[in-house]
Amino acid sequence: MLRRKLFVQLTEKHMRLQHKTALITGGSSGIGRETALLFAREGARVVVADVDDAGGNETVTLISNEGLEAAYVHADVSKAADCEHMVAFAEKTYGALHILFNNAGIMHSNDDDAVSTEESVWDLTMNINVKGVFFGCKYGIPALRRAGGGSVINTASFVALLGAATPQIAYTASKGAVLSMSRELAIIHARENIRVNALCPGPLRTELLMKFLNTEEKKQRRLVHIPMGRFGEAKEMAQAALYLASDESSYVTGTEFLVDGGITAAYVTPEL
Ligand code: NAD
Residue 115 included in any domain: yes
Decide if 20 contacts 241 (C-beta within 8 A). no
Residue 2 included in any domain: no
Quickly count: other Cβ atoms within 10 Å of residue 2's Cβ.
Answer: 6
Q: What was the pLDDT predicted at 208?
A: 80
Spatial separation of the C-alpha atoms in residues 224 and 199, rounded to whole Å: 23
Probe residue for ligand 1, chosen from 25, 60, 106 as the CB with the greatest number of ligand atoms within 8 Å: 106
Residue 206 included in any domain: yes
Q: Closest residue (by CA) to atom 12 of ligand 1?
A: 26
Domain count, the chain: 1
Q: Closest residue (by CA) to atom 33 of ligand 1?
A: 105
Radius of gyration of the chain (CA): 19
Q: What was the pLDDT predicted at 4?
A: 60
Residue 138 included in any domain: yes
59 lines ligand 1 (CB under 6 A): no
Which segments in the chain show pLDDT lower than 70? 1-12, 272
Instruction: Give the position, in ligand 1's atom list, of the atom nearest the Cα of 34.
Output: 26
Instruction: Kindly tell me the burial class for residue 259, based on how many C-beta atoms sit within 10 Å of its own C-beta (0-12, 13-18, 19 or more).
Output: middle
Residue 270 included in any domain: no
Q: What was the pLDDT predicted at 64?
A: 98
185-198 per-position pLDDT tens digit: 999 999 999 999 99
Q: What was the pLDDT predicted at 40?
A: 98
CATH number at residue 49: 3.40.50.720
30-78 per-position pLDDT tens digit: 999 999 999 999 999 999 999 999 999 999 999 999 999 999 999 999 9
99-102 vs 70-74, strand pairing mode: unpaired
Residue 89 included in any domain: yes
Q: What was the pLDDT predicted at 211?
A: 85
Distance from residue 252's CA to the centre of ligand 1 (Å):
24
Q: What was the pLDDT predicted at 223?
A: 92
Domain that holds residue 83: 17-259
Q: What was the pLDDT predicted at 13?
A: 73
Distance from residue 152's CA to the centre of ligand 1 (Å):
17
Residue 7 included in any domain: no
Spatial separation of the C-alpha atoms in residues 107 and 110, rounded to whole Å: 9
Q: What is the pTM of this model?
A: 0.95
Residues forming the active site: 171
56 lines ligand 1 (CB under 6 A): no
Instruction: Give the position, in ligand 1's atom list, of the atom nearest the Cα of 207.
Output: 3
Q: What was the pLDDT predicted at 212?
A: 81
Residue 28 included in any domain: yes
